[in-house]
Amino acid sequence: MSKTTFAELGISSAMIEALNKKGFEEPSKIQALVIPEFLKEKSNIIGQAQTGTGKTAAFSIPIIETIVSENGSTKALILTPTRELANQVSDEMYSLIGKSNLKVYPVYGGQSIDQQIKNIKRGADIIVGTPGRIIDLLERKVLNLKNLEYFVLDEADEMLNMGFVDAIEEILKQTNKEQRMLFFSATMPSSILSIAKKYMGEFKILKVENKDMTADLTEQIYFELRESEKFDTLCRVLDFEREFYGIVFARTKHETDDITSRLKARGYLAEAIHGDITQALRNKTLAAFKSKQINILVATDVAARGIDVSNLTHVINYSVPAEAESYVHRIGRTGRAGNKGIAITFITKKDAYQLTRIQRMTKTNIKRQDAPTIKEVIAAKKEALEAFVNEIIQENDFNEYVEIAKTLLTDKSPEVVTAAILRHAYGDEFLPQNYFQYTSPEKPNEKRNDRNDDRGSERFTNSDQSRLFIALGKRDGYTPKKLLELLFNECKTPARKVQDIRIMDNFSFISVPFDEAEIILRTINSDERRKPLVSRAKR
């Protein structure tokens, strides 16, 4: 069966040229369904498609193809649930405008409304905005929607979940009753159909087949873990995957900050986004992520709305989402544009029922796997090191160091010098004893098979570690990173030996191996003139 082309959808050669410049070779399934229907007269549509299926172009193309700029009046309004999505949609539409003189403006809270008012008064053919800011502009009599030709509700189910139903209805009351309408939603709750029947009149539902709704190109797996093992398992995944570029989803703002600070303390390039972060910092973080200055984004569900990055390698569900729809949204951010992606979900005993429910509702088989072992992680690091060295040799990018190398090799063997340099550069990174030892909990009534790898030696109990109380906390200016620096500078304790850091206002907790605990207690408490700073925590 031949594939549909953009030309067959009835769009102009100028639009096809713009699509070619963006690298779009053929329409996605939702685009092939929506574009020809939306180009027809008097066709109102509900499109069911998840994030990452090309829905933005599905409504942008017919709008840009049909509206004509005149008298500065607004001809199209696209409502989005978040600022990020408003910016994303606006950027996408501008990239498709080509030589047209159409003006597209995003409007949302968190930025100067005065500047947004100036933009609208200059003439805004297409406005992309969040419900709250749109209502604000309507109340100020700045925005007039009586000449509106298109009304688009993007991420409709999410907007209703976020409590925007009253705002949406208020906006619809002030629009042109002859306008064309398009709702996009990943799911089809009754509340969306209710609004559609009330304001759309006749409409068509265009739906991507269910088999496409859970990202065919995404490999879905889960690890069974104890809660205390989650962070170290995350680090193993990051170390094992040489080209990791993904989003780690957490349940709360606090958990997001905690994961991020601990990752940074271990040297990973990570940043967080959630509802308490300022818009300026959110924009800066997202720009750094999209340009790959950082490769790990830790986010809550709502904060991640509108992030459109097509080449993610991984999505990690550090916490299991409360709803199956959220799971689909999360994993839909990888496995796009023909690229294979991996979605990993961390499951504890209390999450077992929710995992079963997600599998049943999404009609997918999420496979159980074991987290990478210490041996596998170290092997992956050695492979990466060898690749880096070979790349430098091939590019002849080492000449400045030749003289130093000759000096070091004067009276020592190449093996000894190379090993010493690696020890200096990588510290304890390749030493198995510096990794957190654990095994994943077994399934009920199931015995784990013996294996010829290091899993058998990874058995542990809490008694293998010592929990320490440290009389220093946030009020003393301590963060996980600063505490790790203190332990290394004072006791030469490597960061990888320090587990489960908890920084409170006036004190902190850490877990370290027994022998390391003895060194820390002896070294930091050596000053007899002050009260001991470190003691064993009471269990």
Flag whether 307 is in a domain: yes
Please indicate, yes or no, if residue 317 is contained in any of the structural domains.
yes
Are 16 and 160 members of one domain? yes
Helix (H, G, I), strand (E, B) or coil at 401: helix
| Helices 374-394 & 230-240 angle (0-180, nearest 10) | 30
413 and 351 share one domain: no
Q: How many Å apart are CA 335 and CA 312, to the nearest integer?
A: 7
Domain, as residue range, for 194: 7-212
**Whether 176 and 262 share a structural domain:** no
Check residue 452 and give its pLDDT: 37
Domain identity same for 186 and 104: yes
Rounded Cα–Cα distance for residues 355 and 359 (Å): 6
408 domain-assigned? yes
Residues 317 and 262 in one domain: yes
* pLDDT given for residue 347 in this prediction: 93
Residue 392 confidence (pLDDT)? 86
Low-confidence ranges of the chain (pLDDT < 50): 1, 211-213, 439-463, 539
CATH number assigned to the domain comprising residue 357:
3.40.50.300
The dihedrals phi and psi of 470, each to the nearest 5 degrees, come to: -125, 125
Q: What is the DSSP string of 334-353?
A: BS-TT--EEEEEEE-GGGHH
Give me the pLDDT at residue 458, please.
38
Residue 10: the pLDDT is: 86
- Alpha-carbon gap, residue 219 to 205, rounded angstroms: 29
How many structural domains does the chain have? 4
Closest CA to 303 of 260, 367, 358, 335: 260
At 413-452, the pLDDT tens digits run: 999 988 888 877 776 678 776 666 654 444 433 333 333 3
Paired tokens of 34: 């929506």
DSSP, collapsed to helix, strand or coil, labels residue 492 as coil
pTM over 0.85: no
The reply to whether 234 and 353 lie within a common domain is yes
User: Is 356 found in the same domain as 388?
Assistant: no
Helix (H) / strand (E) element for 390: namely helix 374-394
Judgement on whether residues 416 and 342 belong to the same structural domain of the protein: no
Nearest to 349 by CA among 271, 442, 259: 442
